[in-house]
A = this chain, B = another copy of it.
Amino acid sequence: MTQMEAARKGIVTEQMRKVAEDECVDVEWLLEQVASGRVAIPCNKIHMPEPIGIGEGLRTKVNANIGTSPLHSNLDEELAKLEMCIRYGADTVMDLSTGGDLDEIRIEILRRWRKPLGTVPIYQVAKELLMERKPISAMEKEHLFEVIERQARQGVDFMTVHCGITKHALELFKRSRRIGGIVSRGGSLLAMWMVANNSENPLYEHFDRLLEIASRYDVTLSLGDGMRPGALADAGDSVQWYETSVLGELTLRAWEANVQVMIEGPGHVPMHHVEAHVKMMKALCHGAPIYLLGPLTCDVAAGYDHIAAAIGGAIAASAGADFLCYVTPAEHLRLPTPEDVRVGIIASRIAAHSADIAKGVKGALRWDEQMSRARKELDWKRMYELAMDGDRAMEYRSDMRDADKGVCSMCGQFCAVAASSAVERILIEGAKGDAISDIPAECPLIQ
């Protein structure tokens, strides 16, 4: 049984119980959310990861993409990236490798990563064709489904499948005035195959076959947005919305087969349109969980796209997006390094957490309150513990001789926190003004 089938039969699975506990929500409510498809719990029966719930009413989750490329492939580096995902709190990881021995890399990752793992199976097909010096246009449909099944058998919990790039979508694309064209890697591979072979998308044409594999292993289908806008100017065009409406149609078919689904979304969207995009997606796709890449709110932030994505992601998540795929500073420029992975995760988590506060997610604000209290006490150890990336906070304080004590080098003796406490002692406790030094006693020097 898939999680969805169990929910529909009124069976509370171990995974539902764990998710309900982690999120402090009622398990009966969660069961209904899973039954209706509004929440997905990606959990391949073979991998059985620590379950993560994704969808309406839960914390916004963050995915980190790692993986090799044909130009840059090193297993140790990927495992170092995975360490970053563990240390800095990604909720899920996608292995997008396209270089080296993909099965080996995936198995090594699955061995170490205890949360849900995602992939984009067509990458492996393209890689295996490249090994034979064949272009993607030479792909056999059978090969694609064989790879999907192979990855499912290995334990992959969710897969991006670009089922919505139909022949009609490409017809709309042909008549569009897009600047950026197709920017989805998997989408462009499929489109290339389709136009070279003048054929319908096999993932659309044989969607039932895909559902059969997915339901057997309980692989969650992440219905990919192959036609997502890759430039602000392209956001919200008919190609994008047509594809999204196809994904909505396929969502219902997946749910009929008890297959869990997530809907992928843009890309690059001007910030005043982000809310509308998320709401349109939710409406067209019947409340399925929304999984966004970005959206980036400008096109010119190369080297800092994690920041543009944090702006778009925070607005999107507060409007109802459930799952943010991180964007690293390396986006549009190169494969990310482990350090890029770290920064990308934290940027997305800041967006997700900011949105969770806005959405009123239970307990979200308590964390910030604890941090603010520690800040008021100048309790640095506690601040490092509570900071989203306490290692970084400590690195920044390493110029202080005693990094756990006293004020910081921004204001030194003129520390507002210390002065405010002095003001409060006079105002509230009635201490005598001249009895209180307004220069903090502990004022460590720079190393």
Contact = CB atoms under 8 A, between A and B. Distances in A.
Interface stretch (A20-28, A244-252, A282-290, A412-420): A412-420
B414 A350 contact: no
Chain A interface residue number, banded: 35 or more
Contacts of A230: 372, 375, 416
Interface in A240-278: 268, 270-272
B357 A300 contact: no
A443 interface: yes
Contacts of A301: 346, 350, 387-388
A389 to B, nearest CB: 5
A145 to B, nearest CB: 20
Nearest to A65: B410
B420 A191 contact: yes
Interface stretch (A46-54, A205-213, A431-439): A431-439
Oligomeric state, in number of copies? 2
A3 B435 CA distance: 47
B397 A334 contact: yes
Contacts of A419: 136, 182, 185, 188-189, 191-192
Contact of A416 (B185, B318, B446): B185
Given A300-B368, A350-B307, A181 B417 contact: yes
B369 A197 contact: no
A126 interface: yes
Contact of A371 (B299, B434, B438): B299
A263 B271 CA distance: 25
Given A137-B438, A304-B388, A409 B71 contact: yes
B368 A233 contact: yes
A416 B179 CA distance: 14
Contacts of A351: 311
Nearest to A433: B196
A98 B302 contact: no
A105 to B, nearest CB: 15
B423 A383 contact: no
Nearest to A418: B188
A207 B383 CA distance: 39
Interface stretch (A9-17, A33-41, A148-156, A325-333): A325-333
Interface string A326-347: 0001111111000000010011
Contacts of A314: 271, 297, 311
Main secondary structure of the interface of A (DSSP, over half): helix
Interface string A89-116: 0000000001100000000000000000
A336 to B, nearest CB: 8
Contacts of A421: 181
A146 interface: no
A387 B183 contact: no
Contacts of A147: none
Contacts of A184: 416
A69 B410 contact: yes
A168 interface: no
Interface in A278-330: 297-304, 306-308, 310-311, 314-315, 318, 329-330
B446 A272 contact: no
A98 B412 contact: yes
Contacts of A70: 412-414
A232 B350 contact: no
Contacts of A387: 300-303
A353 interface: yes
Interface of A: 69-72, 98-99, 123, 126, 130, 135-137, 170, 173-174, 179-185, 187-189, 191-192, 195-198, 230-234, 268, 270-272, 297-304, 306-308, 310-311, 314-315, 318, 329-335, 343, 346-347, 350-351, 353-355, 357-358, 365, 367-369, 371-373, 375-376, 383, 386-390, 392-393, 395-397, 399-400, 407-417, 419-424, 426-428, 433-434, 436-439, 443, 445-446
5 contacts: A71-B409, A301-B350, A307-B310, A307-B346, A311-B354
